[in-house]
Amino acid sequence: MNSAQWIAKGDKYIMRTYGRYPLVPVKGEGCYLWDADGKRYLDFLAGVAVNNLGHCHPRVVAALQKQAAELIHCSNYYHIPTQIELAEILCNHSFADRAFFCNSGAEANEAAIKLARKYSREKYGQDRYEIITALASFHGRTMATVSATGQEKVQKFFDPLLHGFLHVPFNDADALEKAVTPNTCAIMLEPIQGEGGVVVPDAEYFRQVRRICDENNLLLIFDEVQVGIGRTGKLFAHEHFGVTPDIMTLAKALAGGAPIGTMLAREDLAASFGPGTHGSTFGGNPLVTAAGVAVMRTILEEGILNHTEEMGEYLMGELEGLKKKFPIITDVRGIGLMIGMELSVPAGDIVKKGLERGVLLNVAQDRVLRFVPPLIVGKKEVDEMIAVLDGILAEM
């Protein structure tokens, strides 16, 4: 079937939960995707920061194929080897002592919310359950994570929301400190807001947030679902800010496209999640954790973080060049290969034109173009994308 035929069939059977661009991807390799008509696209979205090693990275494919032939699923027995290995790698490269595995970013945040409430209640009393998050944040689409999210467009139609979430402006430590009550148990933040439009806070902000947490016995939860796993040139984005959280959530890029989520915590917190407290049938399943081990080893062994930093600087420089040329570009910001370009006009048309010209771009918050290419992107691909973007901007 060709793309038009697939789209017609999809329109008939699939729920319309996303505004979808008319692209039917059937194959991916490295930084490129192909649609059902054989047209090639340069992918600067990477499944929204999922395909950090590019599409179908050979080490991820090999790990999935090997594991699929040996054992695909098993739950309720003693931890499986691939899950243990992935937990060990994550703990050895972070502040955390233990990992809980689930299947998505929203689920990882659900686990963090539940752990923060349970631990804090046990330690400080029944009323300790409030969680402060940021306006414009995004934490997922389940009810608890919709309640945690600081965007009305995500929440409307679904009230009553979960009780006990407060939202304050991002990058404003004073507002955050004022929102703390005797019932607050945790502060949950993205190190860089992704869906909020690639918003990078000041380093001083996170130092203040850590101080507020320490002075009030609050837990600091970092949602690294979008910015973790090398996206910013460090394994975890919070490393740029010199601040350590108590709990961290990961998902998206962790298993190279296989559905995974994880919530990592220090031992004293993790101890609060005993048998029977939380779980998930597929969480940490052999297939996805085998892929996760392959992703982590590839990032750590193949110099991906240095490459990301280098390519991030190159892409940023090229985008700064476009900013000098086109006054509708009002800001270019980001760290590593997590970059946003703010315009004085809506960015949707640029994405549409990019699609026609074989380059996949993305909008976060209407006027911000978000660039989250595979971390393996080279100068050649950056130049190809910039040439197309330059052409589109020149026509506007």
Residues noted as catalytic: 138, 223, 252
Over its C-alpha atoms, the chain yields an Rg (Å, rounded) of: 21
The CB-of-107 to ligand PMP minimum distance in angstroms stands at 7
> By CB under 6 A, is residue 338 in contact with ligand PMP?
no
The CB-of-105 to ligand PMP minimum distance in angstroms stands at 2
Nearer to ligand PMP, 63 or 225 (CB): 225
Nearer to ligand PMP, 198 or 392 (CB): 198
Q: Work out which of 168, 221, 225, 290 binds ligand PMP, going by CB under 6 A.
A: 225
The CB-of-359 to ligand PMP minimum distance in angstroms stands at 21
Residues 191-210 that bind ligand PMP (CB under 6 A): 194-195
141 annotated to bind ligand: yes
Q: Contact letters (x/-) for ligand PMP, 66-105, by CB under 6 A?
A: --------------------------------------xx
Peptide bond into 160 cis (omega under 30): yes
Q: Work out which of 35, 43, 110, 190 binds ligand PMP, going by CB under 6 A.
A: 190
Q: Which residue is nearest to ligand PMP (CB)?
A: 105
* Among the listed residues 11, 5, 2, 41, the one whose alpha carbon sits nearest the alpha carbon of residue 381: 41
> By CB under 6 A, is residue 106 in contact with ligand PMP?
yes
3-state helix, strand, coil in the chain (%, to 5): 40, 20, 40
> By CB under 6 A, is residue 226 in contact with ligand PMP?
yes
Q: How big is the site for ligand PMP, counted in residues (CB under 6 A)?
A: 15
Question: What values do phi and psi take at 204, rounded to 5?
Answer: -60, -35
With beta carbons less than 8 A apart as the criterion, state whether 131 and 184 touch: yes
The strand pair at 130-134 and 184-189 is best described as: parallel
Residues 130-169 that bind ligand PMP (CB under 6 A): 138-140
Q: What is the rounded CA–CA span in Å between residue 140 and residue 193?
A: 13
The strand pair at 165-168 and 130-134 is best described as: parallel
Q: What is the rounded CA–CA span in Å between residue 134 and residue 170?
A: 5
The CB-of-263 to ligand PMP minimum distance in angstroms stands at 12
H or E segment and range at residue 11: helix 3-13
Token pair of 247 as six digits: 């709990």
105 annotated to bind ligand: yes
Residues 37-66 that bind ligand PMP (CB under 6 A): 48
> By CB under 6 A, is residue 251 in contact with ligand PMP?
yes
**Binding range to ligand PMP, per CB under 6 A, among 221-229, 288-296, 301-309, 367-375:** 221-229
With beta carbons less than 8 A apart as the criterion, state whether 260 and 248 touch: no
The strand pair at 40-43 and 359-360 is best described as: parallel
Q: CA 260, 198, 99: angle at the middle one, nearest 5? A: 25
* Among the listed residues 6, 7, 40, the one whose alpha carbon sits nearest the alpha carbon of residue 381: 40
Binding-site positions read: 105-106, 138, 141, 223-226, 280-281
Which residues here bind ligand PMP, judged by CB under 6 A? 48, 104-106, 109, 138-140, 190, 194-195, 223, 225-226, 251
